[in-house]
Structure 1
Amino acid sequence: MTRRRLPPAARRAQIIEAARGVIVERGLAVASLRDIAKAADVSLGTVTYHFDGVDEILSAVVVTESERFYEDVVRAADAEPDPWRALEIIVASLFGDSDDVAAHWRIWSDYWAAVARRPEMAAAYADRIRHWEACCTRVIARGVASGTFRGVDPEVTALKLAAYSDGLGTQRAQNVEGLTAEVARTWMNEFARWLLSPDGRPAEAGHCVSREG
């Protein structure tokens, strides 16, 4: 059967989407270029024409995943005038019980492992994958300016939240007993209050970072 010819950008997107499925299902450690080519229904030569190797494909998957996963979340948080509620939207996106969230963390876990081998990967794509942290920075800056949050450095505080959420996400990906999505949201809520509440006390009712809805 003759494969339909696609523009290079469309073919590349097809390979990236297929690679995402392979990585989520099998993990990067056992995924091969042949696996990805088979999933994309293209030849191995087509894959190697567009990508140098699995790590480069993973970087492309992470960029695409970040843009897709956070697009609606970032838009909603930026549009929410209440900083606490905006932060709630951001946090809730990471700790749901859906397959989509689980897949997101699986991709990120494999990406971190790859970056440990090739640190230059992170530098090359940093501005295109840190959407969550950048949105946190904007929300915190708004909260500080309005007096809703204490006077912290927004970028430093967003990095603290990102580091803590990454730790929780990694533990969740390892199926640590007792660390449910609800528990992770609660811990993020406690950490955010500790970092941002002007008096160090829990946020007012209705402004809980871990509240869903």
Structure 2
Amino acid sequence: MTTVLIVDDQALQRLGFSMLFEQYADLTVVGEATHGAEAVRMTAELRPDVVLMDVRMPGVDGIEATRRIVHSGGRSRVLVLTTFDLDEYAYAALRAGASGFLLKDALPDELISGVRAVASGDSVIAPGLTRKLIDAFTDRMRSQNPDQERQLAALTEREREVLTAMATGWSNPEIAERFHLAESTVKSHISRILPKIGARDRVHAVIFAYDTGLVRPA
């Protein structure tokens, strides 16, 4: 059973999500929060598997709430919801520790799959939005970090290639085909890459690739 906390200041939006999740036996909504501060408190109390987080809310917004939840060290993972005109906020939320983001107009199956993926420890990014978002905001938000340069240097040539492919938006099957590898081998490379660069998941590996200049905006 995957437990979900819904965070949105719009009552109809929360109701819609709740009604959707009720249709699936493996998903259960354990609470609803109307703003970021309430989300942080309820996450600490309820310890949901996934926090479905809106970005723009009164008071503590979704970005700051995400940062507080992730930095608390708890087990809950954050999935941010955004719209096309909130790309910058979504990217900031990823840097704050969110495990992914989806558009609010995502199809129900896409949202359900995203929640399940995040709950299982994977990450999710709205299809077709990754490159647009990173191209638009990486140069402005890039931070210089000597530790990242050392982490990058620790990667093998093949690991760099796989990380570059990930950051370009390729899926595991596409990476396997490009480098003539088994998909299980690609997964093994990724499992070694993540701890070497200090990334929690695939999303943060992509951010690392752009931060270090391994991949640059088009």
Task: Give the alignment's TM-score, normalised by structure 1.
Answer: 0.30
More strand, by proportion: 2
RCO higher in structure (CA 8 A, sep ≥6) = 1
More helix, by proportion: 1
Larger radius of gyration: 1
Task: Give the alignment's TM-score, normalised by structure 2.
Answer: 0.29
